[in-house]
Structure 1
Amino acid sequence: MSTAHVRKVAGTEPSSSVTAQNPAASADCPADSAAVPVAPAPSSAVSAHPTHPERMPVRGTPAHHLAVQDRLATWVCDLSLLHELTERLVRVPELEDALHEVLRAGATLVGAQRGMIALESADGLVPDTTVGLGLARPDLGTLETVPHEDHGARARHGDTPGGPADPSHPEPGAPAETVHRDLLHEPGLTPRHREVAAQLGLGASYALPLRAERAGRLGTAVWFYDEPTEPADRQRRLVGLYARFAAEHLARCLELGRARCTTAALTAELLPARLPRVPGVRMAVRHKAGPRGGGDWYDALPLPEGALGLAVGGVTGAGPGAVAAMGRLRASLRAYAVMEGEDPVAVLSDLELLLRLTEPARSATALFGYATAAPGGGHRLTLAGAGHCPPLVVGDLRCEYVETSLSAPLNMLSCWEAPSVELCARPGESLLLYTDGLLHRTGESADRAFARLHSAAQGAPWLVRDDPELLADHILHTVLPDDLDRADGREDLVLLVARFD
């Protein structure tokens, strides 16, 4: 006599978990539950909880399949949302923009309306920065008056019933999050905390520390609710995973920002700190370095017998290597200009020979001018160029380019040679020396860019042409409209204006 067959009930044995029931899901999702967002079980899945076997759907029944499908669908939705938010974050390279993106994404994940991130670190490598979402600058200043250490805060640790410890905290026992369900009535909060919450209309808050693996603690992200509440366990898990990724991205942004600042400081030290005072000549310069640091440079140096040397140029490449090569090239040109500055062709010939011997894999463009006072007024200029943009003479009676770009750049041919050009700058005329970054930033073809520069110089009012500082600003603003003159471009930009009285 055979015994009656007893149907197995889902949840009565370890093999009946969702992971075991769906091997395909196990292969796609990490085995560690901390790496997979766990969503609240839907109504059909609640009945399958092991503590209620009498209400569980039988394995193989439609209700059981629906519970598994609901759980898997929730996982897929959560992972898709995290993928979308992290993809948006990696497309933001600048630190301040990345901070705002983290705030917006975190607000989406925890269902908050406002938030703030305060960057601060013990080692001092992180700049103290505070940005807000839905908060004005005065509101951020008010929030900064709240004590950082609130002993009445309810901190969740790794043994939180909602799930494993937050992955953004590698240290065991460190609080993974700080939750204030009711900022106005929760016991233990400082009076200042309550006062600020009432002033800004904050009902609840949820805070997560931002900690990178190598950089350590970067700061804290806080999201605020208008009413007393707290995020659900699923929301906590998702924002914790996102915060771990966001902290690493912010650390990379900080490292990139420090590298850019270092390169910019090095470039500034290699260029003249100020322009010299030369009788009969007034000068102004505008220099903007690219994000990676480039090799564009300028120089103005007094020479023997009251002469003046003017130079602009650029080396190929970008980054610290190009900046260092630019410094060596500029220092060498200064030495050659002091020795034989009255012959610009000889100066550039010596520079080309040095570049060929010391840096055979690098080329450069350069323009050097030698200016002396003319007996009848004005100044006599002798110019020589090596593949560089032609200078522009601007005055009341003329606005024309000086053809000095008939030769190749330095270190491009077996032997560099080019003729010099002589001209007389009348009193009131200005000489514009610039690098090709000014033309490239327009985004137009070379012919159009040259025409735009010529039109900008020719259309400058008399009062603007009389002041080299005003003329330099006018040229940049006209040639690069729509705030392109202040925006960070991909290339260096140099504009040197010399007005002869």
Structure 2
Amino acid sequence: MNAPHASKVSEINSTVPAPAHTAPPASPAPETPADPRPAQAPHTLPAPAGPHRPPGALLQDRLAGWVCGLTALHELTERLARTDEVDDALRELLRAGAVLVGARRGLAVLEPEDGLGPDTTVGLGLSRADLGCLETVPRDAMPHAPLLDAAAGPPGGDREAVRPDLFAEPGLDPRHREVAARLGYAASYALPLSAEGAGRLGAALWLYDEPAEPSARQRRLAGLYVRCAAEHLGRLLERHRTRACMTTLYEELLPSRLPRVPGVQLAARRRTGPRGGGDWYDALPLPDAALGLAVGSVTGAGPGAVAAAGRLRASLRAYAVMEGEDPVAVLSDLELLLRLTEPARRATALFAYCEPALRRVTVAGAGHSPPLLVGERRTEFVETSLSAPLGMLACWEAPSVEFQAAAGETVLLYTDGLLHRTGDPADRAFARLHAAAAGVPRALRGDPGAVADHVLRTVLPDGLDASGGVEDVALLAVRFE
């Protein structure tokens, strides 16, 4: 269960220092008299050979040791700065801290004092079973508990928790003693994680296999590194919360569930870009057993685009209930509203009036990509008329298109983000989408969700969560029975 030793970084040895009460291994006695000079501190450069040393040599050794340590510190902080996720930053913090304090294992606990989360625990050289075993120890008995429960001090404070020999402590909790013996650690060193503005974020704990503690120099270097890491974690935490908030807001603006309408099956897939965007979809029951289907996209990204998409979707719902049988009238009203209330905003939209009993669909689009009809005998784009996006013309109007679907065929409505994420020109992106739909296996055609998943996997081989996927994607699949 022990992890391999961390590698050496810039002359800092990551191995566990020998405990103070353990005798070093015997070696042949030198012929020369013993050197009266004090022993070297761990991790400093070796002293020059020879019986005599020039004046100031000890100071030079110390300065050289600090230069070596600061160089390593610079490399470790640069590596930390390249992390862009909270969990990745915690793992890098543990790895670098283990090198600095001479430990092999450790864990970082993230518990922001504002209570807004996320709360998480990341281990170094500890399996999930090991972390679960540590969780059975009473919280107040863990070495880092005082750092988690105390009020946050200044980021530059000197608070630390040193337990050089756990089994020698008379008041050690019995459960902690049992877990420490099972996992094979005998000492620990912990530092708080606190950032200016964010307050207390958590604590980092490193575990030693034998009784030991870091030297004063190791503590200073580790303290400097952890302060820098805490500030970086604070920034990542703020970004993580912003993304989570945007995702929640976006989800609340979309339908919580798709309606159940006789004669059709519905499925939807969507993914929000890292900044949050304005792609949306909707499906709502209409009078006379009809169904309204819509997809759209608002220009821009961030909270403004998400809010604008929510307003656009809510307005389209109202117009669809009043005059949904005429998709052109629905989009004309929507264009007028957008032009009067948000003249600087541009949007695309597609609205379809669906009659499931007749398998008939009437569709109109405003600058939006055409629907794709997928069936056993055909896979083709519906030829909608070319039109400008909403908000670009003084008066928008374009003819609608009516088409008939056969039993078992699926209509795909999608946003332009699906095409943009391919990175191809428009004609090649449309060709890729058409080929993906035509290649849906026969066994999957009865499930609109499976059809949507297959199309997404084929069009986007790297997946919707690819790091380069900055565009929103929304896909609505409608299968006629």
TM bin (shorter chain) = 0.7 to 0.9
Shifted more, 215-224 versus 313-322: the winner is 215-224
Contact 1:292 1:319 in 2 (8 A): yes
**C-alpha distance 112-354 of structure 1, shift in aligned 2 (>3 A):** same
Aligned AA (1:274)? R
Aligned AA (2:305)? A
**C-alpha distance 436-323 of structure 1, shift in aligned 2 (>3 A):** same
Equivalent-residue separation in structure 1 for 2:155 and 2:251 (angstroms): 42
Aligned AA (1:240)? G
2:458 is aligned to: 478
1:456 is aligned to: 436
Contact 2:45 2:65 in 1 (8 A): no
Equivalent-residue separation in structure 1 for 2:100 and 2:222 (angstroms): 6
Equivalent-residue separation in structure 1 for 2:385 and 2:459 (angstroms): 21
Aligned AA (1:470)? A
Equivalent-residue separation in structure 2 for 1:74 and 1:372 (angstroms): 80
**C-alpha distance 405-75 of structure 1, shift in aligned 2 (>3 A):** farther
Equivalent-residue separation in structure 2 for 1:340 and 1:153 (angstroms): 64
Aligned AA (1:264)? T
Segments of 4+ moved more than 6 angstroms:
38-41, 151-156
Equivalent-residue separation in structure 2 for 1:267 and 1:144 (angstroms): 35
Please, which of 95, 103, 113 is the counterpart of residue 86 of structure 2?
A: 95
Equivalent-residue separation in structure 1 for 2:354 and 2:292 (angstroms): 6
Contact 1:151 1:189 in 2 (8 A): no
2:4 is aligned to: none
Aligned AA (2:100)? L
Map 1:268-307 to 2 at 5 A: 268-307=251-290
Aligned AA (2:307)? A
Please, which of 402, 412, 429 is the counterpart of residue 392 of structure 2?
A: 412
SS of 2:315's partner is: helix
Please, which of 402, 413, 417 is the counterpart of residue 422 of structure 1?
A: 402
Aligned AA (1:436)? D
Map 1:86-485 to 2 at 5 A: 86-150=77-141, 169-170=153-154, 176-373=159-356, 378-404=358-384, 406-482=386-462, 484-485=463-464
Post-superposition offset of 1:145: 2.3
Aligned AA (1:379)? R
Equivalent-residue separation in structure 2 for 1:278 and 1:193 (angstroms): 59
Equivalent-residue separation in structure 2 for 1:457 and 1:236 (angstroms): 60
Aligned AA (2:99)? T
Aligned AA (1:93)? D
Post-superposition offset of 1:71: 4.0
Contact 2:98 2:105 in 1 (8 A): yes
2:34 is aligned to: none
Aligned AA (2:425)? S
Equivalent-residue separation in structure 2 for 1:439 and 1:41 (angstroms): 58
**C-alpha distance 423-152 of structure 1, shift in aligned 2 (>3 A):** closer
SS of 2:314's partner is: helix
Equivalent-residue separation in structure 2 for 1:405 and 1:224 (angstroms): 68
Equivalent-residue separation in structure 2 for 1:43 and 1:427 (angstroms): 83
Post-superposition offset of 1:425: 1.0
Equivalent-residue separation in structure 2 for 1:98 and 1:234 (angstroms): 24
Contact 2:282 2:294 in 1 (8 A): yes
Contact 1:153 1:189 in 2 (8 A): no
Which has the higher Rg, Structure 1 or Structure 2? 1
RMSD of Structure 2 on Structure 1 (CA): 2.9
Aligned AA (1:77)? C
Deviations, residues 255-280 of structure 1 (Å, cap 9, x unaligned):
22222222222211111111111121
Contact 2:385 2:398 in 1 (8 A): no
TM-score (norm 1): 0.80
Post-superposition offset of 1:139: 0.2
Deviations, residues 346-384 of structure 1 (Å, cap 9, x unaligned):
22122112111111111111111111246xxx4221111
Equivalent-residue separation in structure 1 for 2:135 and 2:194 (angstroms): 20
Percent identity for Structure 1 against Structure 2:
67
SS of 2:434's partner is: helix
Equivalent-residue separation in structure 1 for 2:316 and 2:143 (angstroms): 67
SS of 1:149's partner is: helix
Equivalent-residue separation in structure 2 for 1:241 and 1:478 (angstroms): 48
Equivalent-residue separation in structure 1 for 2:480 and 2:244 (angstroms): 35
Deviations, residues 380-402 of structure 1 (Å, cap 9, x unaligned):
21111112122100011100111
Shifted more, 343-352 versus 491-500: the winner is 343-352
Which runs of no fewer than 5 residues in structure 1 stay unpaired? 1-37, 46-54, 157-167
1:35 is aligned to: none
Post-superposition offset of 1:241: 1.1
Aligned AA (1:496)? L
Post-superposition offset of 1:70: 4.2
Map 1:74-89 to 2 at 5 A: 74-89=65-80
Post-superposition offset of 1:43: 6.6
Equivalent-residue separation in structure 2 for 1:270 and 1:154 (angstroms): 41
Equivalent-residue separation in structure 2 for 1:251 and 1:153 (angstroms): 19
SS of 2:139's partner is: coil
Equivalent-residue separation in structure 2 for 1:279 and 1:395 (angstroms): 20
Post-superposition offset of 1:42: 5.8
